[in-house]
Structure 1
């Protein structure tokens, strides 16, 4: 006679499920998909995707969008004047394999009332460690390549701060280059976001009678047409604010081929596990084989002077 509701699974059954999961790359991949809060800042800032060949990627830096010869009036029946399309400076970047391993013992699995939580915790730590390092080297590369700056009218803590004007002026500086750049992203620390979200001048410009304002638990996702990307200060080279065209600035060059035994998530992190029979445990490691590529340094600008003196 069927039991309703069905009984809870036994602990031994849970343990067997977790061990089978660790042996299956496909099941690990499904587990990674459930970790929704992990996302690379690097992939939001550098949205282009490059394919590496032989462990490196060849690309052009600051490719001109105009020809050097001006256009001319063409008489009927005459040939059009010709020009040679200008090319950017060639650059080469070598991909690196960034990764880390950790151990998950049988004792940790079976002593948790929900053994799957231990696996999730291990996967989260491994992937988060990879994400933090990739984001750090990516933002360092962005800061080194983007040399244009726009001084803030006042620091963003002061009552006389003009945060929205600072942002719009920085956008104008990029667009005035007439290089086809369209700024779409603003990157700042969590602290700078707090100043932005609580700025009274910006609050007065927000739509009234709406529940998505920060005071009700909502977030400032877009300001001045720019997608707001918050980053921990630990991954930023400085506590400044960057505005950029994420479609033009550059991209991540990942080594797309997956070696045997690995599973790869949408976030491009490759994960594998191995049974350590004599040590009663598992070794789980993750990696990403990639390099940030900054192709159009002029597609970004840094707002300086936002910190109190």
Structure 2
């Protein structure tokens, strides 16, 4: 937003009037939220389904069987097909939590900035980032608790280069998920930031990459796919990595209550500006009312101890 709302005149009244119209308009706040490049929770990339909550909670089935309870039989000509039942998963319930905080922005901080909107932009970004950090931490903890563990072939930052075998770990985790024979198709690798660095530094992986291309991590500083998995990095993981099927693993259950004055972003982030006339200031209040739902525990495999 810097530059979008420049100070019209070097007077306090002119600046305050300009920015007040912005802060009092939920539509403008909503538009600004959607412009944030970082408004992409890791949570919503690994738990891609969307659930509707009711009464502050969501009811779901966990580990629903993908086959019937009866073996398929040969059917003779003119015979009736045998009936089978469709087993259901274990019923579970998850309560919605409201994660939020607010920050204060004074009229003087707004007015004395070179661009009238820069201070608001900075405060909004900090609130949104804090919400993302908290929700992602809760989600990763839930997924790690549900996922099965697997030993590493060798820590990715091992002091001995020959013992660094991230590709072995990733391929074995994929095999473990597929061998469950439940229709899972692993498509995502989630790694801690240090693990991400060592993926790019690994010699065995580097030797298998396409050569003579500007898409190499040495130029881009990124490694987007490995073993046909989309690579995501998050500080919410510290020492472990996760291989998972993002389409089957689960989803996020967000609650919207229609409270007045809130601007709602695409991923459930809500922001509200509250005028405090007694002290010539604004409170920017942000929240997300949500809970992660892990439906298919077999769709994820945790690789433990990838980095120290």
Shorter-chain TM-score category?
over 0.9
Give the aligned partner of residue 109 of structure 1: 110
Q: Render the CA deviation track for 1:112-138: whole Å, top value 9, x for unaligned.
A: 111211001110111111111111111
Hey, what's the Cα distance between the residues in 1 that align with 2:25 and 2:8?
21
Match of 2:127 in 1: 126
In the other structure, the counterpart of 1:248 is 248
Contact 1:211–1:218 (Cα < 8 Å) also in 2 = no
Partner secondary structure for residue 80 of structure 1 = coil
C-alpha separation between the residues in 2 aligned to 1:92 and 1:54?
11
2:76 & 2:167 partners in 1: Cα distance?
49
**Preserved CA contact (<8 Å) 1:258 1:264:** no
User: Where in structure 1 do 4 or more consecutive aligned residues deviate above 6 Å?
Assistant: none
- Could you list the per-position Cα deviations for residues 243-273 of structure 1 after superposition, in whole angstroms to 9, with x for gaps in the alignment? 1111111111001343221110112101111
For 2:110 and 2:191, the matched residues in 1 are separated by 39
2:218 and 2:114 map into 1 onto residues whose CA distance is 38
Q: Quote the residue 1:276 is aligned against.
A: 276
Q: 1:103 and 1:298, CA in 2 relative to 1: closer, same or farther beyond 3 A?
A: same
For residues 305 and 274 of structure 2, the distance between their equivalents in structure 1, rounded to whole angstroms, comes to 50
Which residue does the alignment assign to 1:75? 76
2:216 aligns with: 213
Please state how far the C-alpha of 1:11 moved relative to its aligned partner: 4.0
Superposed CA deviations along residues 80-108 of structure 1, whole A, max 9, x for unmatched, are: 00011100010111111111011110011
Name the CA distance, whole Å, in 2 between partners of 1:82 and 1:246.
Answer: 32
1:223-258, CA deviations, whole angstroms, 9 ceiling, x for partnerless residues? 1111111001xx23x411111111111111001343
Q: Structure 2 unaligned runs (5+)?
A: 1-5
Partner of 1:4: none
Return 8-17 or 262-271, whichever deviates more. 8-17
Aligned to 1:49: 50
Task: Flag the 1:105–1:8 CA change in 2: closer, same or farther, 3 A.
Answer: closer
**Structure 2 residue 290 is matched with structure 1 residue 293:** no
Structure-1 residue corresponding to 2:3: none
Q: Is the contact made by 2:50 and 2:252 (CA closer than 8 Å) also made in structure 1?
A: yes
Is the Cα contact below 8 Å between 1:212 and 1:218 reproduced in 2? no
TM-score, length basis structure 1: 0.93
2:292 and 2:74 map into 1 onto residues whose CA distance is 43
Q: In structure 2, what is the Cα distance between the partners aligned to 1:255 and 1:195?
A: 38
| Partner SS, residue 59 of structure 1 | strand
1:210 offset after TM fit, Å?
1.0
- CA distance 1:280–1:305, shift in 2 (3 Å): closer
SS at match of 2:117: helix
* 1:39-58 Cα distance to aligned partner (Å, 9 max, x none): 21111111111000111111
Give yes or no for contact 2:7–2:114 (8 Å, CA) kept in 1: no
What is the alpha-carbon distance in structure 2 between the residues aligned to residue 265 and residue 186 of structure 1? 26
Residue 263 (structure 1) aligns with = 263
Q: Match for residue 162 of structure 1? A: 165
**C-alpha separation in 2, matches of 1:138 and 1:211:** 35
- Is the 1:130–1:288 contact (alpha carbons within 8 Å) kept by the matching residues of 2? yes
What is the CA-CA distance between 1:141 and the residue it aligns to? 0.7
Offset of residue 274 of structure 1? 1.2
2:94 and 2:293 in contact (8 A); partners too: yes
Matched, 1:10 2:13: no
- How far, CA to CA, are the matches of 1:199 and 1:61 in structure 2? 37
* Number of residue pairs the alignment of both structures matches: 298
Alignment of 1:174-213 (within 5 A): 174-213=177-216
Question: In the alignment, what sits opposite 1:3?
Answer: none
Matched residues in 2 for 1:290 and 1:8: separation?
A: 38
Instruction: Point out where structure 1 has 5 or more consecutive residues left out of the alignment.
Output: 1-6
Instruction: Tell me the alpha carbon deviations over residues 158-183 of structure 1, each in whole angstroms, 9 at most, x when there is no partner.
Output: 31222112111110000000001111
